[in-house]
Structure 1
Amino acid sequence: MAFASAASAANTVGDTSKDVEVAELPGDSISDLAFSPTNDHLAVASWDKKVYIYEVGASGAQGKWSFEMGGPVLGCAWSADGTRVAGASTDRSVHIVDLRQAPGGGNCQTTQVAQHDDAVKSVRWFTLNGADYIATGSWDKTVKFWDLRSPTPAGQINASERVYSMDVKNDLLVVGTAERHIHVVDLKEPTKIYKTIQSPLKWQTRVVSCFTDATGFAVGSIEGRCAIQYVEDKDTALNFSFKCHRQQDPANRDVAKVYSVNAISFHPQHGTFSTAGSDGTFHFWDKDAKHRLKGYPEAGGSITATGFNHTGNIFAYAVSYDWSKGYAFNNPQQPIKLKLHPIAPEECKPRPGGKKR
Structure 2
Amino acid sequence: MSTFGAPPAGNPNALTPGDCCVPQPGNDGISCLKWSPTANILVSGNWDGGLRCWQVHEQGGQIQAMPAAQVNHPNNAPVLSACISADGTKVFSGGCDKAVRMYQLGQAPPNNVPFQIGTHDQPVKGVGYIRSSNLVVSGGWDSKLKFWDQRQQQPVGVFDLPERVYDLDVHENLLVVATAGRHIIEYDCSGQPREHSRVTALHKYQSRCISCFPDSKGFAVGSIEGRVAVHYLENGAGKQSFTFKCHRQESSVYAVNGIAFHPVHGTFATVGSDEAVNFWDKDIKSRIYSFTETKRPISCAAFNNQGNLFAYASSYDWSKGSSNVPQGNEIFIHKVKDDEILSKNRNVSGHNR
TM over 0.5: yes
Which position in structure 1 is the counterpart of 2:141?
Answer: 139
Shift of 1:353: 5.1
Mapped pair 1:114 → 2:107: no
Which position in structure 2 is the counterpart of 1:72?
Answer: 78
Q: Tell me the distance in 2 between the aligned counterparts of 1:22 and 1:154.
A: 38
Amino acid at match of 1:341: H
1:350/1:356 contact within 8 Å kept: no
SS of residue paired to 2:181: helix
The 1:15–1:65 alpha-carbon spacing in structure 2 relative to 1, beyond 3 Å, is closer
Q: What stretches of structure 1 of length at least 5 have no aligned partner?
A: 1-13, 249-255
Q: Tell me the distance in 2 between the aligned counterparts of 1:273 and 1:162.
A: 26
Q: Would you say how many aligned residue pairs link Structure 1 and Structure 2?
A: 331
Q: Tell me the distance in 2 between the aligned counterparts of 1:300 and 1:125.
A: 34
Which position in structure 1 is the counterpart of 2:131?
Answer: 127
2:85/2:131 contact within 8 Å kept: no
1:14-45 Cα offsets, whole Å, 9 max, x none, are 96222122232211000001011111100000
Mapped pair 1:19 → 2:14: no
1:179-203 Cα offsets, whole Å, 9 max, x none, are 1100011012555321111110000
Q: Tell me the distance in 1 between the aligned counterparts of 2:324 and 2:82.
A: 22
Which position in structure 1 is the counterpart of 2:40?
Answer: 40
Which position in structure 2 is the counterpart of 1:90?
Answer: 96
Shift of 1:55: 1.0
Amino acid at match of 1:272: T
1:240-259 Cα offsets, whole Å, 9 max, x none, are 111100012xxxxxxx2100
Q: In the alignment, which of 313, 319, 326 is matched to residue 318 of structure 1?
A: 313
Which position in structure 2 is the counterpart of 1:341?
Answer: 334
Shift of 1:345: 2.9
1:45/1:76 contact within 8 Å kept: yes
1:81-110 Cα offsets, whole Å, 9 max, x none, are 1111111111100111111435xx998452
Amino acid at match of 1:228: V
Shift of 1:265: 0.3
SS of residue paired to 2:338: coil
Q: What stretches of structure 2 of length at least 5 have no aligned partner?
A: 1-13
2:148/2:154 contact within 8 Å kept: yes
Amino acid at match of 1:90: C
Mapped pair 1:305 → 2:310: no
Shift of 1:207: 0.4
Q: Tell me the distance in 1 between the aligned counterparts of 2:101 and 2:84.
A: 12
Q: Tell me the distance in 2 between the aligned counterparts of 1:107 and 1:264.
A: 34
SS of residue paired to 1:276: strand
Which position in structure 1 is the counterpart of 2:254?
Answer: 259
Q: Tell me the distance in 1 between the aligned counterparts of 2:332 and 2:110.
A: 22
Shift of 1:237: 5.1
Q: Tell me the distance in 2 between the aligned counterparts of 1:83 and 1:330.
A: 40
Shift of 1:278: 0.2
Q: Tell me the distance in 1 between the aligned counterparts of 2:254 and 2:70.
A: 32
Q: Tell me the distance in 2 between the aligned counterparts of 1:220 and 1:198.
A: 13
Mapped pair 1:170 → 2:164: no
Which position in structure 2 is the counterpart of 1:200?
Answer: 202
Q: Tell me the distance in 2 between the aligned counterparts of 1:352 and 1:52.
A: 39
Which position in structure 1 is the counterpart of 2:51?
Answer: 51
With normalisation by structure 2, the TM-score equals 0.88
1:32/1:305 contact within 8 Å kept: yes
The 1:61–1:107 alpha-carbon spacing in structure 2 relative to 1, beyond 3 Å, is farther
The 1:142–1:17 alpha-carbon spacing in structure 2 relative to 1, beyond 3 Å, is same
SS of residue paired to 1:347: helix
With normalisation by structure 1, the TM-score equals 0.87
SS of residue paired to 1:238: coil
